[in-house]
């Protein structure tokens, strides 16, 4: 494990900190792979119920590494194309891993979440924004298109028209506007981002992980599937829940409480 990504597990909450503050936590190839593999490891940790993703220093994540863009200018077009395709596959896998993680995920956005940094925040279940947070789908400023699934995640948060506004203009959205348009879920206090993110996380830490895992797997697909398909998935998930240890414990506790009153 390198120092590109800091990991802290406290009780049921794991906090992952992107740690390239001098580069505004831009996602290098090494950081991308370390974050993905760490998410895989954390997903196998049964006691962790919530994963918080944040950035060291003043930025959440400035997106892709511009130095890599500069290097590509001198490479052959054919090499750039095939290597770019490979890189995009890895970027998409990282965001999808975050999106489908079977724990609750929270992006604690401490500063700029730009380009791929915005995509990573959007891939999380919830976004808690510091007062100084700034969001931008800045791809257009480099004559690029959003990647990593951004054009999947963003419309589901802010709708199609706002998505067009944000991705066509590349403009910045401050924390208050982000909250108003549904891009962020919680506006943290000044200097209390992680405390507020962890307090928000606490509402999920005592809930049955299996039930949340099943719900998340369905809700994440709810816009693509028919009512009949969603109902069928709910039935399957409920049948699994009926025989879970958490369900048994909950029912037994309910009747134990009634009998004692």
DSSP for residue 21:
G
Helices 29-43 and 77-100 pack at an angle, to 10 degrees, of 30
| Residue carrying the six token digits 């999808």 | 96
Phi, psi for 145 (deg, rounded to 5): -110, 155
Mean pLDDT of the chain: 94
Please tell me the predicted confidence (pLDDT) of residue 72: 64
Smallest CA-to-CA distance from 29 within 103, 113, 93 is with 93
User: Which tens digits make up the pLDDT trace of 96-106?
Assistant: 999 999 999 99
pLDDT for residue 214 is more than 70? yes
Span 57-95, pLDDT tens digits: 999 999 987 666 666 666 777 777 888 888 899 999 999
28-54 pLDDT, tens per residue? 999 999 999 999 999 999 999 999 999
Phi, psi of 47 (to 5 degrees): -80, -15
Q: How far is CA 146 from the centre of its chain?
A: 16
- When computed from its CA atoms, the radius of gyration of the chain, rounded to whole angstroms, is 20
**For 173-193, what is each residue's pLDDT tens digit?**
999 999 999 999 999 999 999
Residue closest to 88 by CA, chosen among 151, 138, 149, 36: 149
């Amino acid at each position: 494990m390198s120092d590109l990504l800091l990991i802290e597990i406290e009780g049921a909450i794991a906090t992952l900190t992107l740690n390239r503050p001098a580069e505004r936590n831009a996602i290098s190839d090494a950081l991308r792979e370390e974050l993905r593999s760490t998410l895989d490891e954390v997903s196998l940790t049964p006691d962790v119920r919530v994963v918080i993703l944040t950035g060291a220093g003043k930025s959440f994540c400035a997106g892709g590494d511009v130095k890599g863009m500069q290097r590509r200018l001198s490479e052959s077009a054919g090499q750039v194309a095939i290597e770019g395709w490979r890189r995009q596959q890895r970027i998409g896998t990282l965001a999808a891993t975050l999106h489908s993680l079977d724990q609750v995920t929270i992006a604690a956005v401490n500063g700029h979440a730009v380009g791929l940094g915005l995509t990573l925040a959007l891939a999380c279940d919830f976004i808690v924004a510091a007062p100084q947070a700034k969001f931008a789908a800045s791809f257009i400023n480099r004559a690029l298109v959003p990647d990593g699934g951004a054009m999947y995640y963003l419309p589901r948060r802010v709708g199609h028209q706002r998505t067009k506004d944000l991705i066509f203009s590349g403009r910045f959205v401050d924390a208050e506007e982000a909250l108003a348009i549904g891009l962020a879920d919680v506006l943290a206090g000044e200097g209390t981002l992680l405390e507020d993110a962890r307090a928000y996380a606490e509402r999920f830490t005592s809930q049955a992980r299996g039930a949340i895992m099943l719900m998340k797997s369905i809700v994440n697909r709810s816009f693509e599937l028919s009512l009949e398909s969603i109902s069928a998935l709910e039935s399957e998930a409920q049948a699994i829940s009926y025989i879970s240890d958490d369900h048994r414990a909950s029912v037994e506790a309910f009747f134990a409480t009634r009998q004692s009153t």
